[in-house]
Amino acid sequence: MIRVSGLTKDYGSRRAISDLTFDIEKGEIVGFLGPNGAGKTTTMRILTGYMPPTMGTAEIGGFDVIEDSLEVRRIVGYMPETVPLYTEMTVFDYLKFMADLRNIKNADDRVDEVLEMVHLGDRSDGYISNLSKGMRQRVGLAQALLHKPEVLILDEPTIGLDPAQIIEVRNMIRDIGSEHTVLLSTHILPEAQQVCTRVLILNKGRLVAEDTPEHLQTRLIGAQRIGLKIRGDISEVVPLVAATPGVISVTPKNDDSLEFESSPGEDARPLVARAVVQAGFDLLELQSSNLSLEEIFLELTREEPPVPAVDDTVEMTAED
Amino acid sequence: MRNIWIIARKEYKSYFISPVAYAVAFLIFVVLGYILYSGILYAATQQQYVPDVTIILSPMIFIFLFTVPALTMRSIADERKTGTMELLLTAPVRDWELVVGKWLGAYLFVLTIILVTWLYPILLNRLIQPGLDQGLMLTGYLGVALATAAFVAIGVVVSSLFSNQIAAFFTTLGILLLLWIISNPAQSLGQTAGDILRYLSLSDHFYNTFNQGIIELADIIYYLSITTLALFLGSVSVQVRRWS
């Protein structure tokens, strides 16, 4: 359904995404997982036809996002991260406007229908400016669903919601996912695990991992691979490392380095280091080989920091 | 066409909930009303002087020069600022349809104001004998309608370049004013240069013809060209900004 190949986007001299390649099949709910600034929004903006890539191609439903941009936009429903809305309009008028732009037959009925789907039927005549953040999020979702899109692209659909609303939106996405192909972005690992059938991890504009949430979990908190480098012949150290408690396996790499795997949840590095040094070898390097992934994982599993009270003012000055 | 109309309709409606639009409309009605009042007062004291419709039209077009930028400043700039531009640019709407729709909505609002100001000539018509020169009035209003089409188009292009309304306002005002007075040095320059400047002038095409009851095809073409060119540049600007 979505085919992305070698996608690259530069903002001036800064490379936002770099050589992204992935496929998403029909009916999948795929999560884009990555810390802030990883390139999730950029990728989504390219897929929705908002802006063209610097290099590479992207296709949705067989249509190229640049060549057949209008066709792509017809089959894609998109909720941008900031959930932009015309706050001076009523919920109904806003959705009617978006439905008209999408040339939907019986737009009035369809608007009522999607409003029921997102449980906002009773706020139809209310002004958007009077809605809470969670309700606005649902209006944004309703907008994305208006034309029964084949592909739904949701940028951080649960950001800024309270826990009850988060659960509600997640359930909604799961329901929607039974009929549509969904691509959503999040920077929270548990969210991806709950909602998605597959996860793509982005970091610094690159795709660093791609797996089902379950596999990813085991891979990340499971065995830890650590590289070791010494001065001299590595073969003499192999039995020493292997004998260290917590080490599962040892693989010599080349003349002066090896890689060992420690059991889940245990950090064998201090013990190994001590053993090597005590045996009289010069220890040159000891490092986690999948460190970047681990760092991302830490970032992703970190609890959401409480929103500081000054946030609003900061945002307002930034907008000015 | 459909998309243009949908965007224009929304834009037009949005003016009726915009305080700026009401302020502008109010300003136009009050100032024009006062000018009309003073004109009538002057006519009452001068035996030879009979006011005609130009006492309303000449200042009206000048007021639009200053107020159109206020009406168009938010047009696209505000969509950028609030992020709703992302909705429009990811909806199945062509960039030029968006720009033309924005222009049409704003222009229809300006036409609405112009239509309401028609009350003044109607009033004047009743006060003077033997009544207003209807041909001059219609020609004058056609001129105002054409000139404001160009004003609004320039305002919309400029608005597409900014995400700040005030910046859009002053830039539009600057461009309009410059094009308004551009033929000032025409006399002192050579024949060709003078002609070029006169051709570019937003005011010469109005005051020398429409405002004197003359309809020249060249003037109509001029205003329509400016409008078309501005809308074309607006579409290009929207498209170009996608790439940045």
Count Cβ atoms below 10 Å from residue A254 Cβ, excluding itself. Answer: 8
Residues A234 and A197 in one domain: no
Q: Look-up: residue for tokens 């996860």?
A: A199
Residues A93 and A240 in one domain: no
Instruction: Choose one of A218, A246, A266: the last residue of a domain.
Output: A218
**What is the ipTM, given to two decimal places?**
0.90
Instruction: Dig out the tokens for A248 from the structure.
Output: 């599962």
Task: Please report the pLDDT score of residue A221 as a whole number.
Answer: 60
| Burial bucket for residue B20 (CB in 10 Å: 0-12, 13-18, 19+) | middle
Query: Which site among B15, B78, B80, B87 would you substitute to test the A interface, given the most A Cβ atoms closer than 10 Å to its Cβ?
Result: B87
Q: Do A52 and B242 touch (CB under 8 A)?
A: yes
The answer to the question of residue A298 being in a domain is: no
Name the percent of chain B in helix, strand, coil, to the closest 5. Answer: 80, 0, 20
The nearest alpha carbon in chain B to A49 belongs to B90
The answer to the question of residue A281 being in a domain is: yes
Q: Do B86 and A50 touch (CB under 8 A)?
A: yes
User: Quick one: average pLDDT of B171-179?
Assistant: 97
The answer to the question of residue A186 being in a domain is: yes
Q: Is the predicted pLDDT of residue B42 greater than 50, yes or no?
A: yes
Q: CA distances (Å), A40 to each of A68, A152, B22, B167, in order?
A: 22, 15, 42, 31
Residues A12 and A148 in one domain: yes
- What CATH code is carried by the domain that includes residue A261? 3.30.70.100
What range does the domain containing A284 cover?
225-289
Residues of B in contact with A150 (CB under 8 A): none
Residues A169 and A281 in one domain: no
| Distance of residue A201 Cα from the nearest chain B Cα, in angstroms | 25
Task: Please report the pLDDT score of residue A181 as a whole number.
Answer: 93
Q: Do A88 and B7 touch (CB under 8 A)?
A: no
Nearest-by-Cβ selection for A80 from B14, B81, B83: B83
Q: Do A51 and B242 touch (CB under 8 A)?
A: yes
The answer to the question of residue A283 being in a domain is: yes
User: Quick one: average pLDDT of B36-56?
Assistant: 86
Q: CA distances (Å), B243 to each of A46, A68, B87, B93, in order?
A: 10, 17, 16, 17
Nearest-by-Cβ selection for A319 from B81, B85, B89: B81
Residues A164 and A238 in one domain: no
Residues A165 and A279 in one domain: no
Scan residues 83-102 of B and list those with Cβ closer than 8 Å to A.
83-94
CB-based contact (8 Å) between B243 and chain A?
yes
DSSP per-residue string spanning B122-133: HHHHHHSSS---
Task: Please report the pLDDT score of residue A297 as a whole number.
Answer: 63
Q: What is the 3-state secondary structure (H, E, C) of A229-256?
A: EEECCHHHCHHHHHCCCCEEEEEEEECC
- What CATH code is carried by the domain that includes residue A131? 3.40.50.300
The answer to the question of residue A196 being in a domain is: yes
Residues A19 and A46 in one domain: yes
Nearest-CA neighbor of A187 among A202, A174, A172? A202
Instruction: Choose one of A168, A185, A218: the last residue of a domain.
Output: A218
CB-based contact (8 Å) between A82 and chain B?
yes
Which residues lie below 8 Å from residue A192, measured CB to CB, with a gap of 6+?
A31, A33, A186, A199, A213
Q: Do A74 and B2 touch (CB under 8 A)?
A: no
Residues A92 and A160 in one domain: yes
CB-based contact (8 Å) between A127 and chain B?
no
Buried-exposed string A181-197: b where 16+ CB fall within 10 A, e elsewhere: bbbbbbbbbebbbbbbe
Q: Do B90 and A48 touch (CB under 8 A)?
A: yes
Residues A92 and A236 in one domain: no
Query: Which site among A71, A100, A154 would you substitute to test the B interface, given the most B Cβ atoms closer than 10 Å to its Cβ?
Result: A100
Task: Please report the pLDDT score of residue A134 as a whole number.
Answer: 85
**Number of A:B CB contacts under 8 A?**
58
Instruction: Dig out the tokens for A149 from the structure.
Output: 């899109």
Number of domains in chain B: 1
Q: How far apart are CA A44 and CA A30, in angstroms?
A: 12
Determine the residue type at A212: T
Which residues lie below 8 Å from residue A56, measured CB to CB, with a gap of 6+?
A4, A5, A6, A7, A8, A19, A20
Task: Please report the pLDDT score of residue A183 as a whole number.
Answer: 94
Q: How far apart are CA B72 and CA B90, in angstroms?
A: 23
What range does the domain containing B134 cover?
2-243
Q: CA distances (Å), A95 to each of A140, A152, A241, B51, in order?
A: 9, 17, 64, 51
Whether the bond between B19 and the residue before it is cis, its omega within 30 degrees of 0, is no
Q: How far apart are CA B230 and CA A171, in angstroms?
A: 48
The nearest alpha carbon in chain A to B3 belongs to A101
Residues A202 and A230 in one domain: no
Residues A279 and A134 in one domain: no
CB-based contact (8 Å) between B239 and chain A?
no
The answer to the question of residue A18 being in a domain is: yes
Which residues lie below 8 Å from residue A277, measured CB to CB, with a gap of 6+?
A283
Q: Do B87 and A319 touch (CB under 8 A)?
A: no
The number of residues making up chain A comes to 320
Q: Tell me the CA end-to-end span of chain A in Å, nearest whole number.
A: 39
Buried-exposed string A158-176: b where 16+ CB fall within 10 A, e elsewhere: bbebeeebbebbbebbeeb
Instruction: Choose one of A218, A250, A280: the last residue of a domain.
Output: A218
Nearest-CA neighbor of B226 among B194, B193, B195, B204? B204
Number of domains in chain A: 2
The answer to the question of residue A311 being in a domain is: no
Determine the residue type at A289: S
Residues of A in contact with B90 (CB under 8 A): 48-50, 73, 76, 78, 80
The nearest alpha carbon in chain B to A73 belongs to B92
Residues A197 and A237 in one domain: no
pLDDT in tens, chain A (320 residues): 899 999 999 988 899 999 999 999 998 999 998 888 889 999 999 999 999 999 999 999 999 999 999 999 999 999 999 899 999 999 999 999 999 999 999 999 999 999 998 888 999 999 999 998 888 989 999 999 999 999 999 999 888 778 888 888 888 888 888 888 999 998 887 788 888 889 898 888 888 888 887 777 666 665 667 888 888 788 888 888 888 888 878 888 777 788 887 776 677 888 888 888 888 888 888 877 654 555 666 666 554 555 544 444 444 444 34
